[in-house]
Amino acid sequence: MEHSLSTTLSSSDAVAGTRVTASPRASRLRSGIVLATLLTCQLMIVLDITVMNVALPRIQSDLHFSATGLSWVMNSYSLVFGGLLLLGGRAGDLFGRRNLFIAGATLFTLASLAGGLAPTAGWLLAARVVQGIGGAMAGPNTLALLTTTFSDPKARMRVLALFSGMSSAGFAIGLIVGGLLTEWLSWRSVLFINVPFGLAVVVLALLYLPTAQRQSAHLDLPGAFTATTGVAALVYGFISAASDGWGSATTDIFLAAGAALIIAFLAIESRTAQPLLPLRLFADRNRAAAYANMFLTPMAGMSMFFFLTQFLQDVLGLSALATGFAFLPTAALMFTMIRLIPRLLPRFGPKPVTLVGAGSMVTGLILLTQLTTDSGYFPLLFIAMILIGCGLGLAVSPLNVIIMSNVEPHEAGAAGGALQTLQQTGASLGLAILVTVFGTATRSAGGSIQHALVSGMTTAFAAAAGIATLTFVVALTFRAVRPTTAGARRGQTPVTESSSG
């Protein structure tokens, strides 16, 4: 792998017009620095989605948020981040991914510093909006840079599996980090922690990240407007559904507007010579199925983090720190599966790997429907967390590889932006649906407050298991292939071959 990475980086420098005279050891060191820089940025962006959850009670107390206003600490970031991902990915294709990545990481870091210093609620919300803008600039270009920089098939599979691992396990790690920082320091530290890592990412990117050639093209402004406003309207509609219910006029208006704008966006893209989102990306059966599961899996998976955090704190009475560490089995199993993906995919192809992952996730969610007010952490909750961690690792990690493995270099940013947009929108929609299911079940349940709370959670887990079953059905559509000698000689992976026809 080290040889392939250094070879790839050398070729990338040649594209950029830079002569490489470094020794093999220096090239391997540089390849490791580039990989660490890109993965650290991705982890930083993903952590920010969950790391704030544990700190919300302290934030509400210090900055005097109302109960409804507090949700916007999370929603303001999600709304802007989800709405701008497609635009950020395509802008990187056209104006330079390295430039967009560095600018986005810089903006995210400065906004984190400003948020940590926030004296008022409005100041914090403004900082979160700017964080979302920076994340949308850096996120899809992180994935595109990984895909184009590490072009050797084996190296690409490894780094994409690691990227997927950072994206998936980051949710669990965020709860652990948030619990540690909130307990030991203050809620402001969950924002300040981004500053040293963000500075390191920017400096190392300036020094080591190879410059890719820009594409001679124009930005699809009508597509950019309809995509950005459409996704933002949908995300806001889902947020409104979670807080006000599906019968709310605000929910209906924004969901209808979002759907209309997305339809308009697709119509524009089908007629534009240089689209923001090339629809041919979905023509490949394996890639289309991977995109579908990238939408569905977060819909089901987010429920575990959201509801189990409440169960551990409100029912079992764990502290924020203990709650974070309770998710260690999930994070550990995710990382374990991620390490196995580069070996499993070439041997078995995407179909059996994702089927096993989806089945494991469904089983874990079904186990969570058996929770009661008397349930402890062991054995039911512990086993469910292991199954879900294994399931998410196997079900999600191959998707990045399938989607990005044979994308044309000039469309890598668009493909990455579409991937992360579907992931973000799926998570928002899933949470809105499951919170609504939870609220309805809680209101109709009798008994104590804790009994009603657990009843709502188990009903939501049942709905999540139903959504996870859909990921199993979609995984059945992947082509089942085996590696071929010819393919190996061409340097292709089984994923590439299975998705080419």
Q: In this predicted model, what pLDDT tens digit does every residue of 133-152 receive, in sequence order?
A: 999 999 899 988 988 888 78
Lowest-confidence region among 100-109, 180-189, 255-264, 357-366: 180-189
Instruction: Kindly indicate the confidence band of residue 415, based on its pLDDT and cuts at 50, 70 and 90.
Output: confident
Query: How far is the C-alpha of 460 from the C-alpha of 155, rounded, in Å?
Result: 39
Residue-wise pLDDT tens digits, 190-223: 999 999 999 999 999 999 998 766 666 677 889 8
**Higher-scoring residue by pLDDT: 328, 68:** 328
In one-letter notation, the amino acid at residue 452 is: A
Lowest-confidence region among 33-37, 256-260, 469-473, 484-488: 484-488
For the chain, give the percent of residues with pLDDT over 70: 88
For the chain, give the percent of residues with pLDDT over 90: 34
Mean pLDDT value across residues 280-285: 90
**Residue 78 to residues 132, 133, 228, Cα–Cα distance (Å):** 7, 10, 13
- Which residues are CB-neighbours of 325 under 8 A, at least 6 positions away? 176, 179
Burial class of residue 317, CB neighbours in 10 A (0-12, 13-18, 19+): exposed
Query: How far is the C-alpha of 187 from the C-alpha of 57, rounded, in Å?
Result: 9
pLDDT of residue 10: 43
Instruction: For residue 410, give the nearest of 216, 254, 267 by alpha carbon.
Output: 216
pLDDT of residue 67: 63
* DSSP 8-state secondary structure symbol assigned to residue 316: S
pLDDT of residue 484: 41
pLDDT of residue 214: 64
Inter-axis angle of helices 449-475 and 350-368, to 10 degrees? 170
Q: How far is CA 303 from the centre of its chain?
A: 15
pLDDT of residue 217: 60
pLDDT of residue 158: 82
Which pair of structure tokens corresponds to residue 456?
A: 């709502």
Tell me the CA end-to-end span of the chain in Å, nearest whole number.
28
Which pair of structure tokens corresponds to residue 115?
A: 């948020």
In one-letter notation, the amino acid at residue 200 is: A
Q: For residue 402, is pLDDT > 80?
A: yes
Query: How far is the C-alpha of 307 from the C-alpha of 164, rounded, in Å?
Result: 23
Reported pTM:
0.80
Q: Nearest 5°: CA angle at 50, between 35 and 61?
A: 135
Residue-wise pLDDT tens digits, 227-264: 888 888 888 888 788 777 788 899 999 999 999 999 99
pLDDT of residue 418: 87
Which pair of structure tokens corresponds to residue 358?
A: 């989806």
pLDDT of residue 23: 65
**Residue 299 to residues 207, 210, 261, 467, Cα–Cα distance (Å):** 38, 36, 22, 7
Which pair of structure tokens corresponds to residue 321?
A: 């720190």
Dihedral pair phi/psi, residue 45, rounded to 5°: -70, -45
In order, the DSSP letters of 384-430 are HHHHHHHHHHHHHHHHHHHHHTT--GGGHHHHHHHHHHHHHHHHHHH
- Coil vs helix vs strand at 3: helix
Burial pattern 266-282, b for ≥16 Cβ within 10 A else e, equals: bebbeebebbbbbeebe
Mean pLDDT value across residues 50-65: 82
Q: What is the dihedral of CA 466, 470, 473, 475, to 10 degrees?
A: -130
Q: For residue 496, is pLDDT > 90?
A: no
Query: How far is the C-alpha of 298 from the C-alpha of 309, rounded, in Å?
Result: 16
Residue-wise pLDDT tens digits, 111-131: 999 999 999 999 999 999 999
Q: For residue 107, is pLDDT > 70?
A: yes
Instruction: For residue 362, give the nearest of 248, 466, 486, 258 by alpha carbon.
Output: 466
pLDDT of residue 81: 87
Q: Residue 138: CA atoms inside 13 Å, Cβ hemisphere, count?
A: 28
In one-letter notation, the amino acid at residue 285 is: R
3-class SS shares of the chain: helix, strand, coil, % to 5: 80, 0, 20
Query: How far is the C-alpha of 438 from the C-alpha of 443, rounded, in Å?
Result: 9
Lowest-confidence region among 64-68, 271-275, 380-384, 446-450: 64-68
In order, the DSSP letters of 311-322 are IIIIIS---HHH
Q: Nearest 5°: CA angle at 454, between 453 and 460?
A: 95
Query: How far is the C-alpha of 174 from the C-alpha of 39, rounded, in Å?
Result: 15
Find out whether 204 and 32 touch, Cβ atoms under 8 Å: no
Query: How far is the C-alpha of 217 from the C-alpha of 212, rounded, in Å?
Result: 15
Full set of structural domains in the chain with CATH: 1-219 (1.20.1250.20), 278-501 (1.20.1250.20)
In the predicted model, what is the mean pLDDT of the chain? Answer: 83
Find out whether 462 and 433 touch, Cβ atoms under 8 Å: no
pLDDT of residue 19: 39
Residue-wise pLDDT tens digits, 305-326: 778 888 888 889 888 778 878 8
Instruction: Kindly indicate the confidence band of residue 486, based on its pLDDT and cuts at 50, 70 and 90.
Output: very low
Mean pLDDT value across residues 377-387: 94
**Higher-scoring residue by pLDDT: 465, 24:** 465
